Amino acid sequence: MHIGIDLAWGANGRTGLAAVDDDGRLLDSASVRTDAEIAGWLDAHGPAVVVAVDAPLVVPNATGRREAERLIGLVYARYDAGAHPTNRSRPWMDPPRGMQLAESRGWSVDPDHTGTEQRPVCLEVYPHPGMVGLFGLGRVVPYKKGSFADRRAGFERLVGLIETLPALDLPRSAAWASVRERLAAATRLVDLDRLEDEVDAVFCAHLAWRWARRDGSLVVYGDLRQGYVVAPPPPEQPPTPRGAPGGAVAAAPIEERPPVGVGPWRGEWPEGEQWDPELLRQGDSRNVVDAYRYWRMEAIVADLDARRHPFSVAIENWQHDLNIGSIVRTANAFAAATVHIVGRRRWNKRGAMVTDRYQHVLHHDDVAGLLQWARGRGLPVVAVDNVPASVPITAYDLPERCVLLFGQEGPGLSAEALAGADAVVEIPQYGSTRSINASAAAAIVMHEWVRRWAR
Ligand SMILES: C[S@@+](CC[C@H](N)C(=O)[O-])C[C@H]1O[C@@H](n2cnc3c(N)ncnc32)[C@H](O)[C@@H]1O
């Protein structure tokens, strides 16, 4: 297990914690305050191998700055990702809290060590240079400073970038789903402050895993004697000119970014509210149809809203079924009006390929909530499952305005859902299996609706 810690320099600030497994998958993340809480969280998460700490560790100098800060400044200051000077002149830096933590846990701080369970290593890292170097940014993402709207936009961008790191496997992570939920619910700067340490810790944990993998993507700036910082080498391309909106992502691809999409817009930029200047400048690698290339996300949603079909899709979510993401993606492809998640609020987003951001996704605690929503709008609920009372969909007069309700792998639809629905339909089968995969069934039924009603 590898750990990321965004450690508050003083004893009262918030500290972000994150753990990834040996394959780099995010296991958990949290935000705590006291030394005891940090120790408790670490104890609960098993033996560490590599720990990446965003806080000074080795600080031998009484005044001035460390050689590591000079070196980081040399390569990263022009990307606004330089380092503040650190020395022992401040009471909270003598000794540094990071070093106290490493000593109390028995972690080596020697960057010559690769780390093992018997001999874990703790390294000082900086997320800012880390992000610029790893994501190939033209300038640091502004998520720490500014107005609520600016910071929120910076956060959205940052979490989107972190989601491009496949090793973290974030679509499967409940901890990340919670981060996403809290970001979506944030209305004040303090909400973003609370998230910041946790998101930084997740990124630090990824750096820790990279160190363990020894893949050569990290460099030690400085040394054990004078203090050091571990960060990736800087991007190859020059920084985005100052004043350019949003601290742009450079065209240089990061190693994990799939080679999809379109590059920067060629020629004169088009005029209109729908165009996103950042995408025009940097290219668009999102999972959108060509007609929406370079469009702002809100503009795409507004355009879809004007022509969505009058059927909605609902899915029971009692078990975090993997199919749910695929069903949401298909609902998006067929322009369903809304998607309803019934049951657990957190649903498994793997498979949705971020298509949920272009959908209106509503949650209901139980089937009664969904039925109430549908009845209030005069929408019949069509349950889809192959149970004894089901009518073959081929013989069923599928209404144009309706809610299609699907069950999960294993249990299928709950008794409550089957009893409360206005109709129960099935896809006729001819082989030996009891049922088909839930997301395949949903795709067939949604297409059946499209075949009958789409114009
Ligand atoms: C694995 S199936 C449910 C189990 C199934 N009722 C059984 O008897 O084994 C999971 C979900 O996939 C969908 N599904 C799978 N096969 C289906 C079929 N032939 N007709 C309708 N829905 C089906 C339904 O929404 C169902 O709730």
294-319 pLDDT, tens per residue?
999 999 999 999 999 999 999 999 88
- Provide the Cα torsion 85, 87, 91, 92; round to 10°: 60
**Ligand 1 site, residue 406, Cβ cutoff 6 A:** yes
- Ligand 1 mean position, distance from CA 394 (Å): 16
> In this structure, what token pair is assigned to residue 341?
């998640």
Q: Is there a contact between 93 and 106 (Cβ–Cβ < 8 Å)? A: no
**Ligand 1 site, residue 133, Cβ cutoff 6 A:** no
Indicate the pairing of strand 50-53 with strand 2-6: parallel
Say what the pLDDT of residue 246 is: 46
**Ligand 1 site, residue 393, Cβ cutoff 6 A:** no
What span, in angstroms and rounded, lies between the C-alpha atoms of 236 and 233?
9
Handedness of CA 439, 443, 446, 449 (dihedral sign): negative
For the segment 169-198, the average pLDDT, to the nearest whole number, is: 92
What span, in angstroms and rounded, lies between the C-alpha atoms of 334 and 311?
10
Among 435, 436, 439, 448, name the best residue to mutate to test ligand 1's pocket (greatest count of ligand atoms within 8 A of Cβ): 435
Q: Is there a contact between 441 and 434 (Cβ–Cβ < 8 Å)? A: no
> In this structure, what token pair is assigned to residue 107?
């972690």
**Ligand 1 site, residue 404, Cβ cutoff 6 A:** no
What are the angstrom distances between the C-alpha of 354 and each of 170, 314, 322?
Answer: 12, 18, 14
What span, in angstroms and rounded, lies between the C-alpha atoms of 409 and 270?
47
What span, in angstroms and rounded, lies between the C-alpha atoms of 300 and 279?
14
> 308-453 — its CATH code?
3.40.1280.10
Among 326, 330, 342, 386, name the best residue to mutate to test ligand 1's pocket (greatest count of ligand atoms within 8 A of Cβ): 386
> pLDDT band for position 204 (50/70/90)?
very high
Does pLDDT of 251 surpass 50?
no
Q: Is there a contact between 427 and 443 (Cβ–Cβ < 8 Å)? A: no
C-alpha closest to that of 199 among 248, 236, 172, 160: 160
Say what the pLDDT of residue 243 is: 59
State the DSSP H helix or E strand holding residue 167, giving kind and residue range, or none if neither: none
- Ligand 1 mean position, distance from CA 332 (Å): 21
Measured from the Cα of 427, ligand 1's closest atom is 20
Does pLDDT of 5 surpass 60?
yes
- DSSP secondary structure letter of residue 85: -
> In this structure, what token pair is assigned to residue 451?
């075949």
Does pLDDT of 83 surpass 90?
no
Q: Is there a contact between 404 and 433 (Cβ–Cβ < 8 Å)? A: no
Place of tokens 């997320």: 127
Measured from the Cα of 407, ligand 1's closest atom is 27
State the DSSP H helix or E strand holding residue 370, giving kind and residue range, or none if neither: helix 367-376
> pLDDT band for position 215 (50/70/90)?
low
**Ligand 1 site, residue 145, Cβ cutoff 6 A:** no
Q: What is the pLDDT of residues 346-396, one digit of tens each?
A: 888 777 888 888 999 999 999 999 999 999 999 999 999 999 999 999 999
Percentage of the chain lying above the pLDDT 90 cut:
67
Q: What is the largest CA-CA distance in the chain?
A: 83
> In this structure, what token pair is assigned to residue 351?
């498979």
Label residue 335 left, alpha or beta by phi (over 0 means left) and psi (-120 to 50 means alpha).
left
More confident residue, 286 or 224: 224
AA identity, residue 446: M
For the segment 163-180, the average pLDDT, to the nearest whole number, is: 93
Angle CA(185)–CA(187)–CA(192) in degrees, nearest 5? 85
Q: Is there a contact between 86 and 63 (Cβ–Cβ < 8 Å)? A: no
Q: What is the pLDDT of residues 100-120, one digit of tens each?
A: 999 999 999 999 888 999 999
Q: What is the pLDDT of residues 20-72, one digit of tens each?
A: 999 999 999 999 999 999 999 999 998 999 999 999 999 999 999 999 999 99
